[in-house]
Structure 1
Amino acid sequence: MAICPNGHTSQAADYCDECGELIGGAAPAPAPSPGAAAGAAAGGSGTRTCPDCGEPGTDRFCEICGYDFATGGGKPTPDRSVPPPPGPDPGPPERPLPGATGWTAVVAADRAYYNAVIAEEGPDSSTLAFPPYAPERRIPLAGQQIRIGRRSSAQPSPPEIDLREPPEDPGVSHVHAVLLAKPDGSWTLVDPGSRNRTCLNGSTEPIPLNEEVPVSAGDRIHVGAWTTITLTRDEAP
């Protein structure tokens, strides 16, 4: 066993195994250049100069070129042929909430549906006039439920599909129908008890009250005096 000038026990007799310091009796290191010698002097006790690049240092390896003061060689590099250990399992990808993206409700004034309502000659049919201008609206379906109706001062929040927007459909109840998101990404339609009922796909037969009716892309929901809501879904890329 040998002891280096810094007090470390070393198996090697020439350079310390721990800090790389020259042990007494070993061959001296090559003479440093004048600039390197000045840096070594400024570094104090334990400072030596790298014979490859002239950088002074106190650690076993040169901070510039990686020279190993203990063995007289370059700094060991990792074996690139051995693949690194695998990282932690990220687990299954997060599944988006049903209805969070991809589905859209296209709201429009439907002349054909209006004509069918007038043909039934209901008690209010004589006062209904089809709006001369009704721009189409596109409403993304996001969340667990989408209410179809007309907002009022008594409601804490307006329905997601608000048919009080001009032109207001007077035949729509405050909560006329509700779209419910299902775990598989599909939707169902419920009429909770509207005054003028809810129909699908051109039929004049209303859907049952308080029963979930499955709907899919392309289905048309008819409510009020002239409103048709068409469901669309973006195709996956």
Structure 2
Amino acid sequence: MLTCPAGHESAADDYCDVCGLLMGASPAPAATPEPAGTPCPVCGEPQTGRFCEGCSYDFVAGSAPTRAAVPDPTVVATPVKTAWTATVFADREYFDTMRSEDDDVEFPAYCPERVFSLRGTQIRVGRHSASKGIDPEIDLTGPPQDPGISHLHVLLLAQPGNGWAVLDLGSTNGTRLNAAVDPIPRGETVPVHAGDRIHLGAWTTLTLEQDNAS
């Protein structure tokens, strides 16, 4: 294992698996994270880890990553005409692949499969927050709750030709497709197809399906 400038052990030799720092960068100055429960200075969400679950503020670095803007609905394609669904389930294979040795997140003992119809031009995926007025069309609040899912994690966008694309809205833990090691770029629209798996958080996977008979 290699050690990054911030002192984390990393299996990757380009960017740290834990904090994302360039492995060859100069050592970062020591910083003391705020104690758990400290309100985020940007959105007020109580701290549960290094990054704020509400707005991705970095409690150690003292900065908030740039979040991708939600596209203007007027420039999005018209709703798809065939019936699409997103099936959400707890993905043990994905969990085992992504879990690190120091990760204390447990795979849920029971998580019922849920099916959501994809309707309209934009579908938000995340976790409900009454205080922030966030009520996503695909609400993954739980129980059980995947702690790696942000309140606004991704956006599904209708595309010309009755297809869909996924857009990461600046989530804390990223979004992956079809078990890829690297997350999709934040703020970049990525086409998705029937059968594709969208991985969120620690163990949540969405599988898109299309009813061609519609």
TM-score, scaled to structure 1? 0.55
Indicate whether 1:212 and 2:189 are aligned: yes
The equivalences for 1:146-185 within 5 A come to: 146-185=123-162
Distance 1:212-1:169 versus aligned 2 partners, 3 A rule:
same
1:184 deviation in Å?
2.1
Distance 1:186-1:112 versus aligned 2 partners, 3 A rule:
same
The aligned counterpart of 1:106 is 87
Equivalent residue pairs, number: 137
Indicate whether 1:129 and 2:106 are aligned: yes
**Distance across 1 between alignment mates of 2:154 and 2:126:** 7
In structure 1, which of residues 144, 161, 179 is the aligned counterpart of residue 121 of structure 2?
Answer: 144
Per-residue Cα deviation, 1:135-175 (whole angstroms, up to 9, x for no partner) = 10000000111111111123334111111021111110000
The structure having more radius of gyration, on CA atoms, is 1
The equivalences for 1:18-29 within 5 A come to: none
The aligned counterpart of 1:227 is 204
1:200 deviation in Å?
0.3
In structure 2, which of residues 173, 195, 205 is the aligned counterpart of residue 196 of structure 1?
Answer: 173
**Distance across 2 between alignment mates of 1:154 and 1:203:** 34
Higher relative contact order at CA 8 Å, sep ≥6: structure 1 or structure 2?
A: 2
Segments of 4+ moved more than 6 angstroms? none
**Distance across 2 between alignment mates of 1:107 and 1:161:** 9
Considering fraction of residues, name the structure with more helix. Answer: 1
Considering fraction of residues, name the structure with more strand. Answer: 2
1:102 deviation in Å?
0.6
Amino acid at match of 1:199: R
Structure 2, unaligned runs of 5 or more: 1-77
Per-residue Cα deviation, 1:14-37 (whole angstroms, up to 9, x for no partner) = xxxxxxxxxxxxxxxxxxxxxxxx
Distance 1:230-1:154 versus aligned 2 partners, 3 A rule:
same
Distance 1:224-1:200 versus aligned 2 partners, 3 A rule:
same
Structure 1, unaligned runs of 5 or more: 1-96
Root-mean-square deviation over aligned CA pairs: 1.5
**Distance across 2 between alignment mates of 1:202 and 1:175:** 21
TM-score, scaled to structure 2? 0.61
**Distance across 2 between alignment mates of 1:213 and 1:151:** 24
Residue pair 2:165, 2:190 contacting (<8 A) in 1 also: yes
